[in-house]
Chain A
Amino acid sequence: MAIGLHESDFKNPVVRWIDQRLPVFTMMQKEYGTFPTPRNFNYFWNFGALAMVNLMIMIATGVFLAMHYAPHTAHAFDSVERIMRDVNYGWLIRYVHMNGASMFFIVVFIHIWRGMYYGSYKAPRELLWMLGVVIFLLMMATAFMGYVLPWGQMSFWGATVITNLFSAFPLVGEWIVSLLWGGFSVDNPTLNRFFSLHYLLPFLIVGVVFLHVVALHITGSNNPLGIEPKGPQDTLPFHPYYTAKDSFGLVIYFIVFAGFVFFAPNYLGHPDNYIPANPLVTPAHIVPEWYFLPFYAILRAVPNKLGGVLLMFGSVAILFVLPWLDSSPVRSMRFRPMARIAFLLWTVCFFVLMYCGAKPPEEPYVIISRIATAYYFAYFLVILPLLARLERPLPLPESIARAVLGGGPLPAGAAAKPMEKA
């Protein structure tokens, strides 16, 4: 082997020639072939791969939509209708993109929930978790700006409401708002810059996803037991075991996705967005897309504008410090009987907030939103820190292999929830 060349195990001369100079094949083999992965993943561990696929679908469909879309207030609505009617399979591309955004949030919500339930945010995966929160924030910004592009009534009024939130900040608020607008109201400059940023941010997401995956491959994956693999008996090579398992999950995900796209493409949307934007007519109720409803409910639960805005941003920002708020050394909620109940209640609150966010700001929804908001934050700020001290976790299994393959009594917590067979 010549000096300076990478030592390659590949036999194929072409692959070998490339691999010696740019060891991408070695890297793929190491990171996705033999990569040691805990043997006890359940199907919740599919959602990271699903999110990756979803991101690629969004970028691919988005690139084709951008070829036909006209980012101008006078043409945006009509150009979208032209895509639906005159572009070959334009309706398919648009409905995939539109419902792909909803699918992305469904997948990512489950992915985040998985991380919270099984304690994937805990040491040594804090930075991996925080990069995930960054991706989530970028996704929210991208989705919001994407929803503005068809320039329907909800696009316009949603943009007006959300951008106006920044005016609540003292001193810099007004400046931020005119920067977002590119003028003194939501208008053509706003649409132009939102289109530009909507095209840009997904590539930033790709970058952060790359870092997210790199960090994951340093620490290795968490698993449903929340204990670290102790040796080769606890792990399996990623391929073929998890490539096969992810493939099955992927097909199921495609079936759900196709169900929306082909049979209920507008179910998750709002009819008002098929009315062209009109700055002179305000819709009866301005509601954001479904995936923003929990955060919208938190915003409206606070009677003070600045307070509401801070709490809304805080509801996501608090995830950044979750690894330090929850100092319990036990990761998986399977072994935390009290935290588990508290977290399932938090999950209920999330859906309650989603429900209230879609309702008009009147009783009883306001008081329900307030209670749910209080619990949302109390879970992070009070319950988790307290439980870390007070809770008596169940005994952890000795090792993953022992828990999965038997050879000893299973811990009570692991038996309570049937072990994922696959």
Chain B
Amino acid sequence: MFRTKLKAFAVLGGLLAAAPSPAGAAGEAIAIPDTRFSFDGVFGTFDHASAQRGFQVYKEVCSACHAMRQLSYRNLQELGLSEQQVAAIAAQFQVMDGPNDEGQMFERPARPSDRFRSPFPNQQAARAANNGAYPPDLSVIVKARPGGADYIYALLTGYADPPPGVTMMDGMNYNRYFPGHQIAMPAPLNPDQVQYADGTPATVEQMARDVTTFLAWAAEPELEQRRAMGVKVILFLTILAGLAYAVKRKVWADVH
């Protein structure tokens, strides 16, 4: 989705076309379908309602196994939740703190300033609880996979029965879009697995879209500010380029 948009404005388009993106080099050649998201393109922004529902999906489904340790509860305010709502969400979790004056570690309800609580204390514990597979941290997962949000959505909706002739390894699940097609994570989303407060029907596609939007925001919380600033910067520079060119023409007028 980025790639085509980029070429529209990159002055070095020719150079880029000749130089392949290294990102395209790695991984299996499985075509990832292009999904429309609110944050696509040069001017896209996050659909906050969708991202809030996505957080609910993460909290009630994904967070059983996947950490998001780069995020703090306070960050949820950026999705339009109030300070009180965020404090209430944080308070649902017990986090380890300490040592206190007696030198003891203790548990207390989380505050907005705390990082998202991880489901496992360390990677070994995560593997031990998941048949040896490590559920990756999801903080920057959208930036960490070729195809980005399109891939995450495709993966979450790509579970199917293995085609005839494919033998699955023990405990693995068939996924159309996972490299190698055998993924340790069982299909995480089932219809009506969560109950949305705003009444949106919780289909697998809807939940996948919402949680992908949430994860895209989590990976690039600066995206909206970045693009808004970029528009201003490029407009300013374009005008400045016009002025600089006019000055240059005027300065050079007498030597031609």
Contact = CB atoms under 8 A, between A and B. Distances in A.
A266 B145 CA distance: 12
Interface string B168-180: 0000000000010
Contact of B70 (A81, A254, A262, A272): A81
Contact of A274 (B9, B75, B140): B140
Contacts of B251: 240-241, 244
Contacts of A422: 248-249, 252
Nearest to B237: A255
A125 B1 CA distance: 46
A39 B255 contact: yes
Interface stretch (A4-12, A179-187, A245-253, A410-418): A245-253
B11 interface: yes
Most buried by A among B19, B21, B139, B148: B19
B42 to A, nearest CB: 6
B10 A256 contact: yes
Contacts of B222: 84-85, 91
Contacts of A95: 226
Contacts of A266: 23, 143
A267 B21 contact: yes
Most buried by A among B2, B20, B75, B146: B20
A275 B24 CA distance: 16
B248 A284 contact: no
Interface residues of B, number: 57
Contact of A251 (B70, B146, B148, B237): B237
Contact of A267 (B6, B241, B248): B6
B21 A251 contact: no
B129 interface: no
B3 A267 contact: yes
Nearest to B136: A275
A204 to B, nearest CB: 28
B247 interface: yes
Interface string B216-256: 00010110001101110110011011001101110110011
Nearest to A281: B134
Contact of B11 (A240, A252, A271, A275): A252
Contacts of B19: 290, 293, 351, 354-355
Given A85-B70, A270-B26, A241 B255 contact: yes
Contact of A78 (B18, B70, B238, B241): B70
Nearest to B18: A351
A258 interface: yes
A293 B22 contact: yes
Interface string B133-156: 000110110011110100000000
A268 interface: yes
A264 interface: yes
A254 B146 contact: no
A406 to B, nearest CB: 10
A285 interface: yes
Nearest to B256: A421
B15 interface: yes
Interface in A86-121: 91-92, 95, 106
Contacts of A269: 22-23
A208 interface: no
B25 interface: yes
B27 to A, nearest CB: 6
A241 B252 contact: yes
B5 interface: yes
26 contacts: A81-B140, A92-B226, A106-B12, A244-B247, A247-B244, A247-B247, A255-B241, A256-B12, A259-B234, A264-B6, A267-B2, A267-B21, A267-B23, A270-B23, A271-B143, A271-B148, A274-B144, A276-B137, A284-B26, A285-B25, A287-B22, A288-B22, A355-B18, A358-B24, A359-B25, A421-B256
Q: 8 smallest A-B Cβ distances: which pairs? A: A262-B230, A274-B144, A358-B25, A285-B26, A248-B244, A91-B222, A251-B241, A244-B248
Interface of B: 2-3, 5-6, 9-12, 15, 18-28, 42, 69-70, 75, 136-137, 139-140, 143-146, 148, 179, 219, 221-222, 226-227, 229-231, 233-234, 237-238, 240-241, 244-245, 247-249, 251-252, 255-256
